[in-house]
């Protein structure tokens, strides 16, 4: 199996089962050497993980924050469908790959490689491979959101971030990223909202009641965004927020 495919598919392991779960519950038996899965079961497992990969990319990676901010930016500019959804999603996806590359590489080296070499069982490989992802999620999940899901899961209070289970960290991270994305989007709206207010005041004062203010303010907003090199500022700030 190509290493690149293994690297991508292993990143979806945290969505497949709770930490420490055994793959024997799924009826998957070890191979002939009793240390690895048989080839047909590996194919079934990887195809299953492949179906869960889009959900993992969209929810437990920086893709969530980036795509929310880019959507707010397009709304603030008032350019309707420009850039298109495909362009925004593609930009968010490539930025996510850049940010998550070290995390996924650590997951691959700590979990998948030892399992392929026969040094770890699948359950042990899951535990080891999930550690870099757990550190990443705990870094950006708010304490308030973590406390909420710890209480909902009726889990004991953790002594350190390493004690947090992925079933708590994942939804807490999603809520935290949604709040962060909305906060950044609100800040992006302010300068463009100011332009809309000024243009609306001018058009009303000169009696241009039949001409929508948005038609006049849109060129000014686009011009302002281009003059300040807005794409570089927005993308650069988003990338720096994860480092």
pLDDT tens-place string over residues 87-100: 999 999 999 999 98
* pLDDT reported for residue 132: 85
Q: Which residue has the higher pLDDT, 201 or 73?
A: 73
* pLDDT reported for residue 36: 56
pLDDT tens for residues 32-82?
Answer: 444 456 777 778 888 887 888 778 778 888 999 999 999 999 888 888 778
Neighbours of 123 (CB within 10 A): 16
Q: Is the pLDDT of residue 9 over 80?
A: no
Q: Read off the tokens for 188.
A: 């992006």
Reported as half-sphere exposure (CB side, CA atoms, 13 A), residue 94 has a value of 6
Helix (H, G, I), strand (E, B) or coil at 22: coil
Residues β-bridged to residue 30: 37
Q: Is the pLDDT of residue 209 over 80?
A: no
> Would you tell me the crossing angle of helices 166-205 and 63-77 to the nearest 10 degrees?
10
* pLDDT reported for residue 125: 80
* pLDDT reported for residue 56: 75
Per-residue pLDDT averaged across 195-220, rounded? 77
Distance between CA atoms of 158 and 184, rounded to whole angstroms?
30
> Which stretch of 12-26, 114-128, 166-180 has the lowest confidence by average pLDDT?
12-26
Q: Is the pLDDT of residue 203 over 70?
A: yes
Distance between CA atoms of 137 and 61, rounded to whole angstroms?
8
* pLDDT reported for residue 202: 80
Is the peptide bond between 153 and the residue preceding it cis, with omega within 30 degrees of 0? Answer: no
| pTM for the full predicted model | 0.73
Q: Is the pLDDT of residue 167 over 60?
A: yes
Q: Is the pLDDT of residue 7 over 50?
A: no
pLDDT tens for residues 125-156?
Answer: 888 878 888 888 888 888 888 888 888 877 77
Task: Using CA atoms of 55, 57, 59, 63 in order, give the dihedral in degrees to the nearest 10.
Answer: -140
* pLDDT reported for residue 176: 92
* pLDDT reported for residue 198: 84
Mean residue pLDDT of the chain comes to 78
């Amino acid at each position: 199996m190509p290493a690149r495919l293994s690297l991508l598919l292993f990143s979806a392991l945290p969505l497949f089962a709770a930490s420490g779960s055994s793959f024997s519950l799924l009826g998957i038996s070890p191979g002939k050497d009793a240390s690895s899965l048989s080839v047909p079961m590996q194919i079934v497992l990887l195809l299953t993980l492949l179906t869960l990969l889009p959900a993992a990319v969209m929810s437990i990676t920086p893709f969530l924050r980036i795509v929310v901010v880019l959507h707010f930016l397009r709304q603030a500019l008032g350019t309707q469908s420009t850039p298109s959804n495909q362009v925004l999603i593609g930009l968010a996806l490539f930025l996510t790959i850049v940010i998550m590359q070290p995390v996924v590489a650590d997951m691959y080296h700590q979990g998948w490689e030892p399992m392929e070499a026969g040094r770890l069982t699948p359950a042990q490989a899951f535990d080891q491979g999930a550690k870099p992802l757990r550190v990443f999620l705990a870094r950006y999940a708010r304490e308030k959101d973590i406390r909420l899901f710890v209480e909902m899961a009726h889990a004991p209070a953790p002594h350190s971030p390493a004690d947090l289970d992925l079933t708590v960290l994942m939804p807490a991270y999603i809520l935290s990223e949604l709040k962060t994305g909305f906060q950044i989007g609100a800040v992006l709206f302010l300068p463009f909202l100011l332009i809309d207010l000024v243009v609306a005041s001018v058009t009303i004062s000169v009696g241009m009641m039949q001409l929508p203010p948005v038609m006049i303010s849109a060129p000014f907003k686009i011009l302002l965004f281009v003059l300040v090199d807005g794409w570089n500022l927005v993308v650069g700030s988003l990338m720096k927020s994860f480092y």
